[in-house]
Amino acid sequence: MENIVIGIEGLVGSGKTSICRELLSKIPNSVILHGGNLYRGIVYAFISKNKNIKTLQNIDITKVMKDLGVKIELENSETVVYVENQKIEEKKLQNEETSMAVSVASNIANNIELFIFARNIINNLKEKYNVIVSGRALMQIYPDLDYHFFITASLEERAKRKLKQYNNEVSLEELKTHIAKRDELQEKSGFYKTYANTITVDVTECKTALESANKVCEYIKEI
């Protein structure tokens, strides 16, 4: 049987990464391409150089990636990000500063060549594995997705989950404002678009990532 490609998109804080990791244990011979983390790695490296994110207006983001030495590698069935040959912890890629900068950059930078780059990575991985892809604009990047999921949850629930991720270092209200702002930027970028074949899964009532993943699995006939 030919390997499949599953795309996982969704609202900010809806649990996409956690769902992907649960799917990894459910889908035989699978790997995760954290496409969002690649973009985060580029932006993280950029702002780490004290550069103004707004200067990325109309700039080819792949050129920035190459200039800053950003790469991804497959380790333990998941892609990880390296900057100048040093692995970047996911916590740094997911922090509030990087997250907001990513929402701005994705709206102003030229992402066309990066989409082509990502498509080639997916095709290469698909030769050996079933590929679970997490990121934005996945139908534009890879129109031949076997499954395209869009994960949703209420703003309140998403803020509560992010609160745990940030170890209660910020208030719930601050997080709700932050997430709503990122939602606005993502929607403006066209990254919340759904298609005729998109399967929308609401995980507001799910208590764990496993429950959320199980809801997704109900639609995957290969499992």
Q: What pLDDT digit, counting tens, does each position of 121-179 carry?
A: 999 999 999 999 999 999 999 999 999 999 999 999 999 988 887 777 789 999 999 99
Take residue 169 and report the two structure tokens written for it: 């270092």
Q: How far apart are CA 168 and CA 55, in angstroms?
A: 33
Residue 222 lies in a domain: no
- Residue 168 pLDDT: 72
DSSP state, residue 27: S
Mean pLDDT of 45-57: 95
Q: How far apart are CA 107 and CA 110, in angstroms?
A: 9
Rounded to two decimals, the pTM is 0.93
- Residue 207 pLDDT: 94
Residue 111's closest CA among 86, 141, 91, 74? 141
CA atoms within 13 A on the CB side of 53: 19
CATH for 40: 3.40.50.300
Contact 44, 181 (CB under 8 A): no
Residue 172 lies in a domain: yes
What does the H/E/C string look like for 117-133? HHHHHHHHHHCCCEEEE
Residue 43 lies in a domain: yes
Q: How far apart are CA 123 and CA 67, in angstroms?
A: 24
Residue 141 lies in a domain: yes
- Residue 185 pLDDT: 86
Question: Domain of 138?
Answer: 5-217
How many domains, in total, are found in the chain? 1
- Give the number of other CB atoms < 10 A from CB of residue 195: 12
Mean pLDDT of 27-39: 96
Residue 223 lies in a domain: no
- Residue 9 pLDDT: 97
Residue 147 lies in a domain: yes
DSSP state, residue 1: -
- Give the number of other CB atoms < 10 A from CB of residue 120: 10
Q: How far apart are CA 72 and CA 75, in angstroms?
A: 9
- Residue 164 pLDDT: 84
What does the H/E/C string look like for 146-177? CEEEEEECCHHHHHHHHHHHCCCCCCHHHHHH
pLDDT tens-digit map of 151-165 = 999 999 999 988 887
Q: How far apart are CA 127 and CA 178, in angstroms?
A: 39
Q: Which residues are bridge partners to 83 per DSSP?
A: 70, 86
Residue 152 lies in a domain: yes
Q: Which residues are bridge partners to 150 per DSSP?
A: 9, 200
Take residue 79 and report the two structure tokens written for it: 């892609």
Residue 154 lies in a domain: yes
φ/ψ of 44, rounded to 5, equals: -60, -45
